[in-house]
Amino acid sequence: MTISFREVDQKILGYVSLTFLGYFTIGLSLATLPIFIHQILGFNTIIAGLVISVQYIATFLLRGYAGKIVDIRGPKVSVMRSMLFFGLAGLLLLLVFLCKSQPTVSLGLLLITRLLTGIGEGLVGASPINWALLELGEEHAAKAISFNGIASYGAIALGAPLGVLMVDYISYESLGLLTCAIAIMGYLYSRSKIPYQVTSKKTETISFKRVLILVAPFGICLALGGLGFGSISTFMTLYYEHFNWQNGASCLTIFGIFFILTRLVFNKAIDQYGGLRVALTSLFIESLGLLIIAVGVHPIWTLLGAALTGIGFSLVFPALGVEAIKRVDQSQQGSALAAYGLFIDISLGITGPLIGFVANNMGMTAIYPFSTILVAIGFALVGNLLYNKKENIV
CA dist 333 → 123, 208, 211 (Å): 15, 11, 9
Mean pLDDT lowest among 17-26, 203-212, 266-275: 203-212
Give me the pLDDT at residue 202, please: 45
What is the Rg, in whole angstroms, of the alpha carbon atoms belonging to the chain?
20
The DSSP symbol for 100 reads T
Closest CA to 130 of 316, 344, 340: 340
Closest CA to 219 of 346, 394, 71: 346
User: Where are the chain's structural domains?
Assistant: 5-393
Non-local (6+) Cβ contacts of 246 within 8 A are 240, 299
Query: What amino acid occupies position 305?
Result: G
Give me the pLDDT at residue 391, please: 54
5-393 is a CATH 1.20.1250.20 domain: yes
pTM of the model: 0.71
pLDDT digits over 239-282, tens only?
A: 888 888 887 778 878 888 898 889 888 878 887 888 899 999 99
The string of DSSP letters for 257-295 reads HHHHHHHHHTTTHHHHH-HHHHHHHHHHHHHHHHHHHHH
The string of DSSP letters for 325-339 reads HTTS-GGGHHHHHHH
pLDDT digits over 120-173, tens only?
A: 888 887 788 878 877 777 667 777 887 887 888 778 878 888 888 898 899 888
The whole-angstrom separation of Cα 60 and Cα 315 is 21
